[in-house]
Structure 1
Amino acid sequence: MADPATYRPAPGSVPDSPGVYRFRDEHGRIIYVGKAKSLRSRLNSYFADFAGLHPRTQTMLRTAVGVDWTVVGTEVEALQLEYSWIKEFDPRFNVRYRDDKSYPYLAVTLDEEYPRVMVMRGARRKGVRYFGPYSHAWAIRETVDLLLRAFPVRTCKPGVFKRARQIGRPCLLGYIGKCSAPCVGRVDADGHRRLAEDFCAFMAGDTTRFIRRIEKEMYAAAEAEEFERAARLRDDMRALQRALEKQAVVLGEGTDCDVIALAEDPLEAAVQVFYVRGGRIRGQRGWVVDKVEDLTTADLVEHFLTQIYGESDSVPREVLVPVGPPDAEAMTELLAERRGGPVRIRVPRRGDKKALLETVARNAVEALKQHKTRRAGDLTTRSQALQEIQEALELDEAPLRIECYDVSNLQGTNVVASMVVFEDGLARKGEYRRFTIRAVEGQDDVRSIHEVITRRFRRYLAERDKVAEDAATGDHDEGAAGDVLASYGFEDAGEEEPAAHGPIDPRTGRPRKFAYPPNLVVVDGGPPQVAAAQRALDELGLPEIAVCGLAKRMEEIWLPGDEDPVILPRGSKGLYLMQHLRDEAHRFAIAFHRQRRSKAMTASELDGVPGLGPARRTALLKHFGSLKRLREATPDQIAEVPGIGLRTAEQIAAALRGADGTGDPAGGPGGPAAAHRTADGGGT
């Protein structure tokens, strides 16, 4: 590893003008390419405060042994040169967009004498018109099958076409009218090319013209009493209409745009694009990118636009993005040059375009989730991840069972915690647990972690001791274990059978959920949370259980008593597994916290109403849909709920007005009832 100070440019040697710079390693390979409005300011930012840089940027600077730059005239030229160099050198520290799967396109080979319609994957070639991409090849074939009635372009392979010309007999499609049979001379090359161009025009969004033309020809044939021809034209028109129905109308007719959305985490991002032509969604495509450097969402958008449209001949008139690129004017000018016409880069704020962007964003979130699931689902990947964690944390054995804990609260209220379990790198959702943190003055995440770890492993010790006692006495009283656990104040999560059924599962013969310890305990947080977890284990006499913490900001792994964190490599499978653990624990805690908060709000505002039990509260919320709508309802409207009389309805309305600040909030938030419920909350 080189010291960045050894190759830092001399003061005043870097020009204060737009340009592109390159970092090289000891072998002369270019490892990073970047652009800047001011080369001097940008390069100074790398060397002025090395400690404040992102760890991945620090790694890049240590790997490099030199930097050079090229001055250009404008920011647009800088964008173009940056794209060219990234394409040429493929630097390892630049972001790389890669397809999350191989997407099929509908291709028309206009470079051939007799153009052919086909499904095509892989690299594009010149002279071929592409439409899509589509999610599935069968979707293309369905569309083509409908369109061939009106545009009978050949779809056969070159060998089939050559064979038909030799024998003078067309294939089946020629006989049934779904091919114009240029192989046997039914149409000449120019006529067939016109069919192919009309097919392309229809697919590009010029649909109304063809439907009106066929409709006009149909009526003319009917007036001329050519009823068979009129019937064929009618069927052709219906086929075109069915093809259009398969493509959802999302925007106004004539709207051409690409809608781009991202979903990201600290290490990766998923990008989804919907292609809208003529107001209809014509295709969809996705990419996944490794965030090799510290990038904002705006930076990702800029890199994406540069790389995807860098050599594209299908730049739309409008590009909708979640966040504008840092230099929107230069990017707009670059795309306008690629398109040969004006291009707009917009961030939709309202209306149909914003709604469509939100839909694309949901697809991006799902794509990122599926990408991580595919990584986690591979046995080899999971084994490697566990081995990497073992080596990084210097564990005696691979952590085949890992438990991760997270705390969730809102300004110290409704404090809850979650425990998620991964075995062999896979989630065991049946063994997840939720904890309600007892109300203690000054409660914070550190105290909460200590309480949760203490309660969880007290239960482990209780079940372990009970298993040993039963083994020694031969007694398997299924109620005894529950009595022992009840003495510690534990409750069941309600997601599986209670622990009172005994410490041994009669179906599998394995100890029940808490009767054996994990190989590794992971807490969401840094050194304070890790220290609290370790202190709880030490107090229980369980120092042999390994503990670590995963901090969100830099994805650092903290070990008890260590001053410096463990940094797993950016592409480490072990880090992906740790992230997945932490994110799952966070999701589970947030869900429980929202549930508790919702119940607390409902109960605190309605508990004070005489004669209003759980069944009536449920009926009220089911009828009105939310507490807000119930609060806005009049007593007469409330009385419409079955089982609620007018007098009770008036009491409910009065109680809700009081809880809203207009009366006495008896039993409301912060009142005696609420305090009592929080204090009695046990681990669930």
Structure 2
Amino acid sequence: MSKKYNSVMSEEFKFFAADYPDSPGVYLMKNGRGRIIYVGKAKRLRRRLASYFQKNTGHTPKTKALVAQVRSVDILLTGTEKEALLLESGLIKKHRPRYNVVLKDDKQYVLFKLDKRSEFPRLSMTRKVVRDGSVYFGPFTSSAAARTTLKLLGKVFPLRKCSDGAFRNRVRPCLYYDIHQCFAPCVRDVDSNMYMDQVHRVEMLLSGKSGELVGSLEKKMAQASAEMRFEQAAEYRDQIRAVKKTVEGQVAVIHDRRDRDVVGLAETDAGLGLGLLFIRQGRLLDQKHFFWPGLTLDEGPEVLESFLVQFYGAGRFIPPLIIAPHDVDNEVLAEVLADRRTDSVRVVVPHSTQEKKLLDIARSVARQAKEKKDTITARLQKVLRLVEEPLRIECIDASHLGGTDMRVGQVVFDAGRRDKAASRLYAFPELEGAADDYAALAAWTVRRVESGPPWPDLVLIDGGRGQISAVEKALSECVEPVDWELASIAKGPSRRAGELEDLIFRPGRKNPMPLKPGSAELLFLQMVRDTAHRFVIGRQRRARKKAVLNSELTSLPGIGPKTARTLWDCFESLDAMVEAGRGDIESLPGIGKKKAAQIHAALQGLKKARSS
């Protein structure tokens, strides 16, 4: 369990070693505005913090700039160094401090997932690794390229495409069966041995054994041709072409067939670049680079350790071997990575000549990394006259349906890209019938402050001066006032969303901000506003539709609210419930034979009523 110590905020921070314990934990350095500007961890907090504030310590320029801005330090005590490392990683991701190594592009990359637990496995795309017995292949930094490959494989290896829920409830073959891209094991009697032979071929291809697969297919094609089974020979021919097209962009870079990632660092005039190679079964599958301005190779060990913890997070594919440019003498880091992978992970420097060549390639990739100076967030900081670059933008839109069902939708854009997982819908039953957008925005402000960080760098409000004033007033009345940058976007004179003359307002200004019509900054803010509007309207309609369907369901004999919830949890739609068999309903938790028969009869009656 963590314990928190708070230092007193002052104009100039003075460090006293006796104020801090000499135990494991995490420290949070804050500037004069109370913002966290650096998060670090230490096995011995007192000694680590003392190293920052001792004179003549030979700090790097980055550390000197950091120390000059520190006005307070909070610490969180942990039981072990491992807990401190995990807590540090979570806090960096949450607060994105200015002086930390933060992965702005930390999205999960695309993987291929082969669910081998199923009687008829399915190949699909995913961005998250789940320890459920499935086999994963990748990663691919380009989702478009991954979709193209999946589409190509789907044409010549006719495995099922539908989800498990659709597979269980389907009553007739889908379109993929009609175009000969699926065996339709959902409704047809398919030979499992023949199906698993196709699965084995796909697995060989994605595992890097394309040479063996092509050789095997060529033999089968020749045999089928000799036996005058020309249609089957043509299928083998098409599979051979698909295999060759899939692997033609992959280069063999090492003789063994081990999975490994290679990390290289390179210093440029503008900062520090990091190159990452994804090598699977000895072939270079993909590559990626990252960049941090102002850093040097002197910070390389710190950058490397922070990168490994953040990049190889939970749910990401982690190879058993990571080649690094420096020795990572940190048993705790290896233990954390092994826990996330549920198997051992080795982080080592290159030993063989081939591994050293791979590291050189990773360094070449790192040298190509450059800072994106003309980002949309940097341009917004300039035109809106913000104190800091608005990396995290939260856009809110208040909506109601004729005075009822008052909602405030919140969407989040991180570094210019939407973070769908961070979207929220706030309901305010206490405002039912009020149709008061100002009250809803004020209530949202209170609840958003209560939810805590990560704080937005900019809150964009769908509305004009009145809406922005409502949020500003609510912020000032909070028990602990929060310093947020605010802006609102109002529809132009025509009152139509998306018009070029939409106006942007900021607190303390009577006139709108001077954004040029059609400028990239205004178009981006309009896109963010429209995204929030679609989100809240879509959620409202979905909730109302589900309420209507739920009312229709609970009106049937034998189906109360509890049974309805069980049905919704197991079936994707009311149509799927209607098409379900009695055995499917009987298998649901808490439903026996007698009740299943009653529910099935009621659903069949609903089906007849709908069709009549």
**So what's the TM-score if we normalise by structure 1?**
0.45
Q: Which has the higher contact order (CA 8 A, sep 6+)?
A: 1
Larger Rg: 1
